[in-house]
């Protein structure tokens, strides 16, 4: 019995020594491994470009690799569901935009994620100005000529990165304000949509500045007008649609970074600080300016409120237009 008692004490002592070690493992510094950044669009589009630009500098700040994972389809719902179901430890992130957080809840009767409950905001990143562009074969160089041409057509097809995308909502608003007969052709992302307009398969679209910049500057797309109240820096030769007579017309895309709901506040805070620091680097600022993007960095709380306000705004447009993906 004495031998057993002696060994019991030794085992108990060893177990007590192990408790702090286990606690140290549980409190492992964040991030502890490679971070997955899910982009719910194909590579080459505006969202993808912004994600890769920020990830490059956030990776250096956080001291861990950040891998971009493109999961496109269903107006961002495929990528959004993947992140919503991921472990809430801060190692899986999502580029969430107007469609993900503001439009999809009102376009899809059955959505595979909850825009309000499934994500923890990290912060807003950028706002994308929209530009009405046409294939160069379209006989129009300004808004007046475009409307005159469109009225000669039985129906004019237009491309978008997907149902419920900001580009889709912008075109529906344009249709309402001009009275034109238009038909929607949704793609799985901005890149393939732009490529078909460039190829002449579809005559026009509203493109975000990041996705359209290289094609506009090379002349492969002709810009008709900017969907902003004022001309956009780096695109300042393109007049606004407002100044061409479409008074009050404004449309844009925005996006931010989110993690699964329940992600520790400490991880969210660290990611937010890394994101803000990356956006302050001269290289990132220059890249965003070149693409005509407006930086809108925010706190997690500011992003949550912004997304809630956008849901109210776009729900009205969607219901009035009768937009549905079901």
Residue pLDDT, tens place only, 168-216:
999 998 999 999 999 999 998 888 999 999 999 999 999 999 889 999 9
pLDDT (0 to 100) of residue 23 = 44
What Rg value do the Cα atoms of the chain yield, rounded?
A: 24
Answer yes or no: same fold for 35-128+253-321 and 129-226: yes
Extract the tokens encoding 83.
């992140």
Extract the tokens encoding 51.
């994600």
Nearest to 89 by CA among 39, 27, 41: 27
What is the reported pTM?
Answer: 0.81
Sign of the CA dihedral with 265 first, then 269, 292, and 56 last: negative
Q: Distance (Å, rounded) from C-alpha 211 to C-alpha 217?
A: 12
Residue pLDDT, tens place only, 129-178:
999 999 999 999 999 999 999 999 999 999 998 888 889 999 998 999 99
Low-confidence spans in the chain with pLDDT less than 70: 1-27, 326
Pick the CATH number of 35-128+253-321 from 3.40.190.150, 1.10.3720.10, 1.10.8.60, 3.90.1150.10: 3.40.190.150
Span 129-226: which CATH code?
Answer: 3.40.190.10
Instruction: Delimit the domains of the chain by residue range.
Output: 35-128+253-321, 129-226
pLDDT (0 to 100) of residue 326 = 64
pLDDT (0 to 100) of residue 163 = 84
Q: Distance (Å, rounded) from C-alpha 251 to C-alpha 244?
A: 15
pLDDT (0 to 100) of residue 25 = 43
pLDDT (0 to 100) of residue 2 = 45
pLDDT (0 to 100) of residue 6 = 54
pLDDT (0 to 100) of residue 5 = 52
């Amino acid at each position: 019995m004495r031998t057993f008692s002696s060994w019991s004490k030794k085992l108990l002592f060893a177990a007590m020594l192990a408790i702090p070690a286990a606690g140290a493992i549980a409190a492992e510094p964040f991030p502890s491994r490679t971070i997955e950044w899910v982009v719910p669009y194909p590579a080459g589009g505006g969202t993808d470009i912004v994600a890769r630009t920020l990830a490059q500098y956030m990776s250096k700040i956080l001291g861990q690799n950040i891998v971009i994972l493109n999961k496109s389809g269903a107006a961002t719902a495929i990528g959004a569901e993947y992140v919503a179901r991921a472990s809430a430890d801060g190692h899986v992130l999502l580029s969430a935009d107007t469609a993900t957080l503001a439009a999809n809840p009102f376009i899809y009767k059955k959505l595979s994620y909850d825009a309000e409950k499934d994500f923890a905001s990290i912060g807003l990143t950028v706002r994308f100005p929209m530009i009405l562009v046409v294939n160069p074969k379209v006989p129009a160089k300004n808004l007046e000529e475009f409307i005159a041409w469109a009225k000669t057509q039985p129906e004019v097809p237009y491309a978008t990165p997907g149902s419920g995308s900001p580009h889709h909502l912008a075109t529906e608003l344009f249709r309402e304000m001009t009275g034109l007969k238009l038909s929607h052709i949704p793609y799985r992302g901005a890149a393939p949509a732009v490529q078909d307009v460039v190829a002449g398969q579809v005559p026009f679209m509203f493109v975000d500045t990041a996705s359209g910049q290289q094609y506009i500057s090379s002349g492969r797309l002709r810009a008709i007008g900017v969907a902003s109240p004022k001309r956009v820096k780096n695109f300042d030769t393109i007049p606004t649609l407002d100044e061409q007579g479409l008074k009050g017309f404004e449309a844009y895309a925005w996006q931010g970074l989110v993690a699964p709901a329940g992600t520790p506040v400490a991880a969210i805070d660290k990611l937010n600080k890394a994101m803000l620091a990356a956006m302050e680097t001269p290289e990132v600022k220059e890249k965003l300016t070149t693409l005509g993007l407006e930086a809108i960095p925010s706190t997690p709380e500011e992003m949550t409120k912004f997304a809630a306000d956008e849901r109210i705004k776009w729900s009205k447009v969607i219901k009035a237009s009768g937009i549905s993906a079901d």
